[in-house]
């Protein structure tokens, strides 16, 4: 199975390089935790409105025959960033703050999407929630992102204070930061700043905006 996965990844890397050699569009991928299919007004939600997401639905592609690889945070991120089942890259469950409660670690041998895109000339960025490790080598910078501004951990005990078990896991790169404001607003504002900052650059960018 491992050989098959490796072959698929190698083929995808070659195909991606060929495609990106002709045209390299900017890529923005937005991930939201705990979003159910009925939580968007475009999908019938009555208790909230999501006009901007609804507009994306109207002007883009809408995939309705799909499933998530896992219903929780870390495995979903591991699968997205590696293109493999989370169990195959060491993350069968949630990565927690305390080692005794941990469900694994992202395998050091797992090739990540930002690593592949960097080799194709992309500037890679993660803004928001990481949740695939608190220490090296499993940090965003250590796993292929050129730029990281966000939160290393899982959930926050307070989304204004940005602490988990009393520890501040907010980072810019590897530097501890203490921003003020609700985490969702901060991540959104930082993403806008990043996109605007890349507007005049020659190289394309890949932004993983993770809530």
Structure confidence at residue 21 as a pLDDT band (50, 70, 90):
low
- pLDDT confidence tier of residue 7, bands split at 50, 70 and 90: very low
Tens of pLDDT, residue by residue over 24-57, are: 999 999 999 988 888 999 989 999 899 999 999 8
Cα dist from 204 to 18, 124, 128, 132, whole Å = 15, 9, 20, 25
At which residue do the structure tokens 């923005």 appear?
A: 28
- pLDDT confidence of 169, banded at 50, 70, 90? very high
* Average pLDDT value over all residues in the chain: 89
Q: Which two tokens stand for residue 40?
A: 């968007």
Q: Above 90 in pLDDT, residue 20? A: no
**Nearest partner of 131 among 110, 109, 105, judged by Cα:** 105
What pLDDT was estimated at residue 16?
55
Residue 84, phi then psi, degrees to nearest 5: -130, 165
Where b means 16+ CB within 10 Å and e means fewer, 41-72 reads beeeeeeeebeebeeeeeeeeeeeeeeeebeb
Q: Where are the domains of the chain?
A: 25-210
Supply the residues annotated as catalytic. Answer: 73, 131
What is the residue whose two structure tokens read 């041998």? 109
* Secondary structure (DSSP) of 130-191: --S-SSTTSSTTTTT-SEEEEE-SS--SBTTTTEETTEE-EEETTEE----S-HHHHHHHHH
Q: Residue 70 has what DSSP assignment?
A: -
As a whole number of angstroms, the distance between CA 200 and CA 211 comes to 26
Give the residue-averaged pLDDT of 162-183: 97
Dump pLDDT digits (tens) for 112-149: 999 999 999 999 999 999 999 999 999 999 999 999 99
* Interval 56-90: pLDDT, tens: 989 998 888 877 788 899 999 999 999 999 999 99
Measured distance between the N- and C-terminal CA atoms of the chain, rounded to whole angstroms: 32
What pLDDT sits at residue 17? 53
Whether residue 4 has pLDDT greater than 50? no
CB 69 within 8 A of CB 75: yes
Q: What superfamily in CATH does domain 25-210 come from?
A: Alkaline Phosphatase, subunit A (3.40.720.10)
Give residue 22's pLDDT.
59
The span from the CA of 74 to the CA of 68, in Å, is 12
């Amino acid at each position: 199975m491992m050989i098959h996965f490796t072959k698929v990844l190698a083929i995808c890397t070659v195909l991606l390089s060929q495609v990106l050699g002709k045209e390299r569009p900017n890529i923005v991928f937005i991930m939201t935790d705990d979003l159910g299919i009925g939580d968007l007004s475009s999908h019938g939600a009555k208790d909230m409105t999501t006009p901007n997401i609804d507009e994306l639905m109207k002007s883009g592609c809408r995939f309705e025959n799909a499933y998530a690889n896992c219903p929780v945070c870390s495995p979903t991120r591991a699968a997205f960033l590696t293109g493999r089942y989370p169990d195959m890259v060491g993350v069968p469950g949630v990565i927690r703050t305390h080692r005794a409660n941990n469900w694994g670690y992202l395998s050091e041998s797992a090739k990540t999407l930002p690593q592949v895109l960097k080799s194709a000339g992309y500037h890679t960025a993660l803004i928001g929630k990481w949740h695939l490790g608190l220490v090296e080598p499993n940090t965003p910078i250590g796993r292929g992102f050129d730029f990281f501004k966000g939160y290393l951990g899982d959930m926050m005990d307070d989304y204004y204070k940005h602490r988990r078990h009393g520890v501040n896991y907010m980072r810019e790169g590897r530097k501890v930061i203490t921003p003020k404001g609700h985490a969702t607003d901060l991540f959104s504002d930082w993403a806008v700043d990043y996109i605007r900052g890349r507007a005049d650059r020659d190289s394309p960018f890949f932004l993983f905006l993770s809530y």
